[in-house]
Chains A and B, each alone.
Chain A
Amino acid sequence: MNHSEIYNGILLNDWMNATPISTWKSQRDEFARLIAHFDAGEIKSSEDLARRFMEEVLKGRRNSALNLYPALRESKRNKSPDERRAEIRSVRAQRNAKIWALTVRLFDSRIEYLKTLKSPLAFENHMPSLNPVTKLASFRRYVTEPGNNWKEFLPLLNWRYRILDSAQSACGFVLSPFLGDEEDESGAREAP
């Protein structure tokens, strides 16, 4: 939800097959309500949370950027109870195996990074930004917070954002006050 740029143009922008999940205020409010229920201890299992997320937040739309129906044991989309999975749909088709491996590294490093956090994340209930500069900066944080090198993940961007990134690198001293970046030269931050 906080990193809406991923399904709003960075990795994909497909409103037919990977509908954004935080564009509408009603969805964000429902998600905030669900998180409040979760914090109150009313949701006991991960599967229950996934079910309520799909039914209450996404209103049953499985063609959303995130589809958790395959994670439910009783779902028709789940062929085997042992193969419960969370499906991230907002990723464009990988052009080769190396791009695929890079995509896996991106999500894996993020999960590993989140495991190291001591405090829960804060949900930012606001309209996703449509500004390409803001989206790129947000995705850069997403990549570099786990300690990844930003330049290694540039192939995941489409050509528009790569040009924007090159332009930012070329005239970083002009844009840096607006972006508020504090990375070191390698583009990576230390993981906590």
Chain B
Amino acid sequence: MKKTLLASLVLVALVNGWSAPTFADQKEKPDSKSSSSSPGADPAPKPEARYGHEIETRGRLGFYPTTLLFALGPAAVDLSTLLHDSSSLSTSKIVAVSFMAFYMGALGLFFDAQIVADVRIDFKLGKLWKILGQECPKLGCEVFSVGSKWNGSIVPKVVFPDGWYIIFDRDPGVVEIRGYPLSNGATQQNLERMQKVAYDLAAKAGLYPPRFLNLTNGGHVSIDFAIFDQDPPPLSKLPRGFHESLRNLQWNSPE
């Protein structure tokens, strides 16, 4: 019984992830001087693409009642049969009911993720808000309230004096972190404070990027579309340039 329980715990942990790597795990740390530079500052003089991001994070999975109910339902039927008439149980029936319990448990998990997760996320977001209020003065940033794009609820926006910001927005089942659009070079320069605000402080509130696939999962990359208007500069070649660039977005190769 203990082994079964332990195996279930491991399975749940594997499916949903159990830890969030911190920046301290990284061997190479970015230059601390560069973190104070402007987010738009980039040594390259030519116009560059800017990249925005949406990282969907979620709280750790707990024991959801619906999951247990769905999973234990078939098992309870099995147990009651065993108690009343043990001779009616066959190996094939036990196997069938076990499979049913597994899939019903997965179904319960689905409902839980949809219904319970939003409540949990709201709770953790409130906790994050409190942590941001405590930590932001030390980091030199301010916390503002903005409306969520999903349900209009109030969500925190962390703004630094140079304009660099991060919004902890809401979407169904997740916290969607949206950041200031940066070029490739500026992204590399702002790694440290992005790690601090978007990952470390969020982890303190129990919000982590999912390690494995969940119902929704993504670290969407947005590319400034204006670069396809500029590439190449002569207007007559615009379609051809975009043709290549669009194919790039669809991950083509010139084989």
Contact = CB atoms under 8 A, between A and B. Distances in A.
Interface of A: 1-4, 6-7, 12-14, 16-18, 21-22, 31, 35, 38-39, 41, 43-47, 49-50, 53, 66, 70-71, 83-98, 100-101, 103-105, 107-108, 110-111, 114-115, 117, 119-124, 138, 141-142, 145
A85 B243 contact: no
Nearest to A99: B219
Contact of A101 (B188, B239, B251, B254): B188
Contacts of B238: 45-46
B194 interface: yes
Contact of A46 (B21, B57, B225): B225
Contacts of A3: 250-253
Given A97-B199, A107-B51, A108-B49, A92 B246 contact: no
A16 B225 contact: no
Interface string B175-214: 0000001111001100110110011000000000111010
B213 A88 contact: no
B247 A123 contact: yes
Given A100-B187, A120-B240, A21 B223 contact: no
Contacts of A87: 220-222
Contacts of B211: 95
A95 B209 contact: yes
Interface stretch (B76-84, B115-123, B125-133, B227-235): B227-235
Given A96-B21, A96-B22, A2 B218 contact: no
Contacts of A93: 55-57, 209-210, 217-219
B244 A53 contact: no
Given A6-B251, A86-B225, A111-B227, A18 B218 contact: yes
